[in-house]
Amino acid sequence: MTQQKTNPSIIAYRKWVADAGVSSTTGWRWIKNGWIRPINIAGRLYVTQDEIQSFQSRANNGEFAKPAAGAAAPNQNGKDSDA
């Protein structure tokens, strides 16, 4: 019997999303927005270590951050609403 070698430079996309602590819906949005680019091998999605590192670096640099909105948004007139 031959033993298959696993390539540690790729990880199953579902496992990576679960390890990242986000839902599959969030993972799907990341793909849709082009934030993460999985590879398709025999109908299954995988992510390379290089892609994971690139994603983490971009996230740490605030590339995916949205401006604050609603109650968290800075007051436009410069005054506190509580005052």
45 forms beta bridges with: 40
Q: pLDDT of 9-39, one tens digit each?
A: 899 999 999 998 999 899 999 999 999 999 9
Where are the chain's structural domains? Answer: 10-61
Over residues 51-80, the pLDDT tens digits come to: 999 999 998 988 887 777 777 667 766 555
The C-alpha atoms of residue 69 and residue 46 are separated, in whole angstroms, by 34
Does residue 16 contact residue 8 with C-beta atoms inside 8 Å? no
